Structure 1
Amino acid sequence: MKHWKRGLCGLLATALMVPVGLAAPVNGEKGLSDLEGHWAQKEVEAAVASGWVDGYPDGSFKPEKSITRAEFTKMLLDAIHLTPDSETVAWMKVHAKMEDIWGNPTEYTPKLYDMSGHWLTSQGWLDAALYSGMVVPDDYNGKNFRPEKAIARYEIALMTDRALGLVYPASQPVEGELPFTDKEEILDWMKGYVNESVKAGVLKGYPDGSFQPNKTSTRAEAVVMIQRMLEEMEEGLNPDITVVAQYRKITDDSDKIVSTKTTDQVKLQVVNDVIYASLNDLYQVERDMMQESNDPDVNSFGGNWWPIKQQLDVGVDGGNFPIEYHYQMGNTEYSWFNFYNQFYVPVRSLYGELMVPICDLSHPNSEPQKEGWQSGWDAETNTITIPIVFRKPFFNVS
């Protein structure tokens, strides 16, 4: 999701002004005046300290005040670093795709009809929401977002699932019945999203066994749900692991390791004994190593981002049969050329980046493999060797 030039690594928090009454910074070190003893005090104070939500000018937080769709959208995007000035969002806007009426890729042109002049639009948050896929116009009647409407719990399930890269599993049929007494109130197309959000621990049912999908949320509830989402997203981030990149080039008449180097450019996380790596960082390292070896194919990469299905396609030009790799958040299947393969666990999402599984620590490879980013693991030195494989398109006909 970057132009392979440090795109997704530059996730910087924005300092944009927000509308009066939404979230003006509290001056000084004094605590928020209306949080003492509140059930969400710890979560709210942690969120304020992290910078993605603030109190009001009078020193209050108003935890029981309802939160609107616009306010929640801004809060969520800020929490996951998809801010209007981030390079991630800029790349997404340029490379976003959708299918035309014939099923062919075309430029993604999302449109909501009631957002002209709204602060979410003028400050750039709407574009960030649309091109990242956090907001999809077809989800709203007549493509009217109604930004000042109080957000409902089912909408929070939908948006936090998208932030976690769970669109693919949420769109699959739910096995069995949802365990809520009011499950009939949940629209059929939303049941998968509610199910995934509950499995991820972001939303929970009530003591009476209900889910209350249409119940609106308060500012405090919204903060707590986003904090839970972040805990799930950021699990095992930045482990103490040394990364060695091994650049291998495969053509129709050769297969050789061109170079090997230690790098700190690849973001890692470890979840349930699986090591994940940022796909964007892997491709950037590949470009760097190709440049260092004066490889003439260094400029052959191109990429497309599909916001609605949360998919990244990476094309390798050359020959009459170019190769295109397809990776989708939440999916174990990936493909290149006309071959379909499986990761052992689904691709994760981290701040809008795809995190691909590169090593199963319960069954590690001692040496890196040629396909699927399957890396070599050395437990004694805590070192992972990642295969950075460039496959030259075959069947090149002049």
Structure 2
Amino acid sequence: MKHWKKGLCGLLAAVLMAPAGLAAPVNGEKGLSDLEGHWAQKEVEAAVASGWVDGYPDGSFKPEKSITRAEFTKMLLDAIHLTPDSETVAWMKAHAKMKDIWGRPTAYTPKLYDMSGHWLTSQGWLDAALYSGMVVPDDYNGKNFRPEKAIARYEIALMTDRALGLVYPASQPVEGELPFTDKEEILDWMKGYVNESVKAGVLKGYPDGSFQPNKTSTRAEAVVMIQRMLEEMEEGIDALDSATTIRVQYRESIPYTHEISDTILQERETDQIQLQVIDNIVYASLNDLYDVQIEMMQENGNTQWEIIGFEWWPIEQKFYVEPMDGFYWEFQYQAGDTTYYWGKWSVHPSYFCEPVRFLYGELMVPICDFSHPKEEPQEGWQAAWDAETQTLTVPMFYYNGWGMIS
């Protein structure tokens, strides 16, 4: 199921829900009165055309006005389709997990203490921000968000990295020194996020060689940074030739073994899996893969689909799949990481050819490398590519008796 496609339905409603100054509609034919000749005119007009930002009721945009934390949060979420009424946000909220004081999984219950009555809360944007992991309460002193405070550049780096699924690489030690003259002003915990945002091209240094992490940003600067983030995120969407056929193939294992049966129980074409092609690597939505696999399990009379559990860990950007049959086998995927784990307590590592990506709040796993295509589908979502027929065959394996799905 293409969750982000349904998220687009929320964009029109979002325009009506946003506060004045963020989404007060203006006449697109007349344009925004104070953008002519502005350095960010092209980017702002593109954002307005896309529907995730608008001008003020008087027809202006006020590009040099500071943007607040609340305004940037809403703008970012709108741009990546994680609107309050999106299906993806609802899924995240229903499956969100965290660790309790004993280190055990429990329902995620994020809390900011100063958001009662704020428009970000009443309109649903705060829940979208918290359950998607774009905003983490522990980042703020006393868990007070201070929504009307002007947002700083390091915060934009943090949030855009999360939107791109870069929490894992941003959490790793930075190799060498950051190339900025004011690197001593960048706190240790934010260095990885600044580094990743610069590598992604979202934030850049100033001509004098500084980064200025605590400098606040204008509305125009915020739009430009989000546009750069979207360019990085949306690369290669629907890049496959229209003649390409996506075929899914369902098999089960021989009971209580790791051997896959040679019998193909079902094989059919599908358009239910969102794909993204970047540098010859084909990525597929993990949610869509599991949606299709469960559908095929149902069609083949496998009742174990009813006991498959899903968990979303917003802070770590992890996705768990747990067939709950008593064996407690599970799969664990994380945005930004090439390693995924399977087995009891996730102790067995496997490796993707490239890191898992993040697209509109969903994990995209690499399933095929056109530079080194496989002749037959393999475990771990490794699809086969037939260049002659332009067919991508995606495996759907169920390990019957071991409680594992691939």
Partner of 1:390: 398
Aligned equivalents of 2:377 and 2:34: distance in 1? 55
Give aligned-pair identity as a percent.
74
Q: CA deviation at 1:93?
A: 1.1
Partner of 1:292: 299
Equivalent residues of 1:8, 1:280 under 8 A apart: no
Partner of 1:137: 137
Aligned equivalents of 1:110 and 1:258: distance in 2? 43
Give me the TM-score of the superposition, normalised by structure 2.
0.93
Partner of 2:45: 45
Partner of 1:378: 386
1:341 to 339, 350, 357: 350
Q: CA deviation at 1:395?
A: 9.2
- Which letter maps to 1:153? R
Aligned equivalents of 1:216 and 1:382: distance in 2? 49
CA spacing shift, 1:292–1:6, aligned 2, 3 Å: farther
Partner of 1:115: 115
Note the alpha carbon deviations across 1:144-192, whole angstroms, 9 max, x for none: 1000000000000000000000000000000000000000000100000
Equivalent residues of 1:317, 1:393 under 8 A apart: no
Equivalent residues of 1:323, 1:393 under 8 A apart: no
What SS does the aligned partner of 2:311 have?
strand
What SS does the aligned partner of 2:184 have?
helix
What SS does the aligned partner of 1:257 have?
coil
Q: Does 1:62 align with 2:62?
A: yes
Aligned equivalents of 1:236 and 1:118: distance in 2? 37
Unmatched segments (≥5 aa) in structure 1: none
Q: CA deviation at 1:198?
A: 0.3
Partner of 2:335: 329
Moved more, 23-32 or 154-163: 23-32
- Which letter maps to 1:136? V
Aligned equivalents of 2:265 and 2:297: distance in 1? 9
Q: CA deviation at 1:9?
A: 5.0
Note the alpha carbon deviations across 1:59-118, whole angstroms, 9 max, x for none: 111111110000000000000000000111111111110011221101111000110110
Partner of 1:266: 273
| Equivalence map 1:188-227=2 (5 Å) | 188-227=188-227
Q: Does 1:360 align with 2:369?
A: yes
Note the alpha carbon deviations across 1:7-40, whole angstroms, 9 max, x for none: 5552233314222233201135211111111111
Aligned equivalents of 1:50 and 1:227: distance in 2? 11
Partner of 2:7: 11
Partner of 2:250: 247
Partner of 1:29: 29
Q: CA deviation at 1:6?
A: 6.3
| Equivalence map 1:39-188=2 (5 Å) | 39-188=39-188
Aligned equivalents of 1:116 and 1:293: distance in 2? 49
CA spacing shift, 1:9–1:20, aligned 2, 3 Å: closer
Aligned equivalents of 1:65 and 1:159: distance in 2? 20
What SS does the aligned partner of 1:229 have?
helix
Moved more, 360-369 or 80-89: 360-369
Aligned equivalents of 2:226 and 2:310: distance in 1? 30
Note the alpha carbon deviations across 1:205-246, whole angstroms, 9 max, x for none: 111111010111011100000000000000000122321111
Query: Superposition RMSD on alpha carbons, in Å?
Result: 1.5
- Which letter maps to 2:386? D
- Which letter maps to 1:306? W
CA spacing shift, 1:279–1:233, aligned 2, 3 Å: same
What SS does the aligned partner of 2:265 have?
strand
Equivalent residues of 1:316, 1:393 under 8 A apart: no
What SS does the aligned partner of 2:225 have?
helix
Partner of 2:324: 317
Q: CA deviation at 1:296?
A: 2.2
Aligned equivalents of 1:94 and 1:187: distance in 2? 34
Note the alpha carbon deviations across 1:327-355, whole angstroms, 9 max, x for none: 00001111111321111110000000000
Equivalent residues of 2:2, 2:274 under 8 A apart: no
Aligned equivalents of 1:115 and 1:216: distance in 2? 21
CA spacing shift, 1:393–1:205, aligned 2, 3 Å: farther
Note the alpha carbon deviations across 1:358-378, whole angstroms, 9 max, x for none: 011111111111x11111011
Alignment: residue pair count: 390
